[in-house]
Chains A and B, each alone.
Chain A
């Protein structure tokens, strides 16, 4: 019988899952179940991020941004992040096309002359590949009593000059299959970026804006785009209030489950809705549609993604 446990940290993915479907939270966050097999999307996105990180860090350290040098520097990081995954070479997100997307990005936005620059930390280093862990003192872990951590990781703290203002905030690359005409409009209420900005403000960094770079990995071209999202003060406040409300509910549901384990479905109801079919179908459909879900646990492995330390997949 699998043991369940309340995680010591909460990240944006867990918040999304809790808000979309409580039963998915049970499988994914409390039981730490993860579908077997590799995800081409996570593999391609992770390799692209690793290559961009290596190129940026080298460019800012050596003050070099010529294309040929950066692609030689970035390639080992790309290869290592891709790992042993052998994909269908005809897939749009193949090794070849994902690497081509990196090259297209660097050609379009060379690191030193990119209008979006990394914010410079007090120690003089550019804030590339930024991780955070914010202790939430008012939310002790239900088992250990230590403050639960709100954690996350994003590609860099960005800054951009806009007239006489300097916009500062989280910057993240998002790889996708295509960039729709209204791609810019989907980020305004995206909790992920408001959460990242909130985390920066907890550390005294005056974040007001999020920068999202879209990279469409395709077979014959790489459409690129930038969304600049202004985050007003009242949205940070609203997001924070929602974070506390959700954490309170998560901990309460967990404590009630421990006291009344037979009421598992009541504490963690099923969405029976859009969450079940979004993104190609929920990874836990097998469990939620089975009369005896435990019979299908072998289709999954135990893995809890840690944005601070870990790989994005097992």
Chain B
């Protein structure tokens, strides 16, 4: 059977990059901080059982937010570990090779 061609449809999506993961983490952090500050605010115009369901949904959203952040944190940490430790003092720039044929007498 011939190997199927790779197309946009069957290519695996690229892994999220460092920048997008960090951006999403910050969004989640901000949202969670807001939710933790305000808490669930029941609506006095709604029946008690509706507010109870709302409180449960709020708690579920908070749990999902925490889970997402913990997943992103593990991914970002993995990215850092795979990148490896920075070399002390930074990389030394390679010298360009000298073209001896181009050198004129007495000129370096």
Report which A residues bind B (CB closer than 8 A): 71-72, 75-76, 79-80, 83-84, 86, 89, 95-97, 99-100, 219-221
**Chain A residues near B33 (CB, 8 Å)?**
79-80, 83-84
A100 pairs with B66, CB closer than 8 A? no
Q: Which B residues are in CB contact (< 8 Å) with A95? A: 25, 29
| Closest 3 A/B residue pairs (Cβ) | A96-B76, A100-B77, A220-B81
Which single member of A100, A219, A220, A221 contacts B73 (CB below 8 Å)?
Answer: A100
Q: Which of A72, A83, A219 is B80 in contact with, Cβ under 8 Å?
A: A219
Is the CB–CB distance between B36 and A97 below 8 Å? no
Q: Shortest CB–CB separation between residue B60 and chain A, in angstroms? A: 13
Q: Are A97 and B66 in contact (CB under 8 A)?
A: no
Q: Given A76-B32, A80-B36, A86-B26 in contact, is the A96-B66 Cβ separation under 8 Å?
A: no
| A54 CB, min distance to chain B CBs, angstroms | 13
Asked if B56 is at the interface of the complex by the 8 Å CB criterion, the answer is no
Q: Is B14 an interface residue (CB 8 A)?
A: no
Q: Secondary structure of the B side of the interface?
A: helix
CA A225 to CA B90, docked complex, whole Å: 28
- Asked if residues A99 and B26 are in contact (CB atoms below 8 Å), the reply is no
User: Within the complex, which residue of A79, A97, A219 is in contact with B29, where a contact is CB–CB below 8 Å?
Assistant: A79
* Contact of A71 with B70 in the complex, beta carbons under 8 Å: yes
- A83 and B32 alpha carbons, distance in the complex (Å): 11
Closest Cβ of chain B: how far from A73's Cβ, in Å?
Answer: 10
Q: Mark B56-69, 1 if CB is under 8 A from A, else 0.
A: 00000001001101
- Alpha-carbon separation in the docked complex, A159 to B17 (Å): 45
Given A86-B26, A220-B84, A220-B85, CB of A75 within 8 Å of CB of B69:
yes
A140 to chain B minimum Cβ distance, whole angstroms, is: 42
Q: Could you show 11 A-B contacts with beta carbons less than 8 Å apart?
A: A76-B36, A79-B29, A80-B36, A84-B33, A86-B26, A89-B22, A96-B73, A97-B77, A219-B80, A219-B81, A220-B85
A99/B73 in contact, CB under 8 A: yes
Which residues of chain A are near B22, meaning CB under 8 Å? 89
Cβ-defined contact, A219 with B70, below 8 A: no
Residue among A71, A80, A89, A96 having the largest count of chain B Cβ atoms under 10 Å: A96
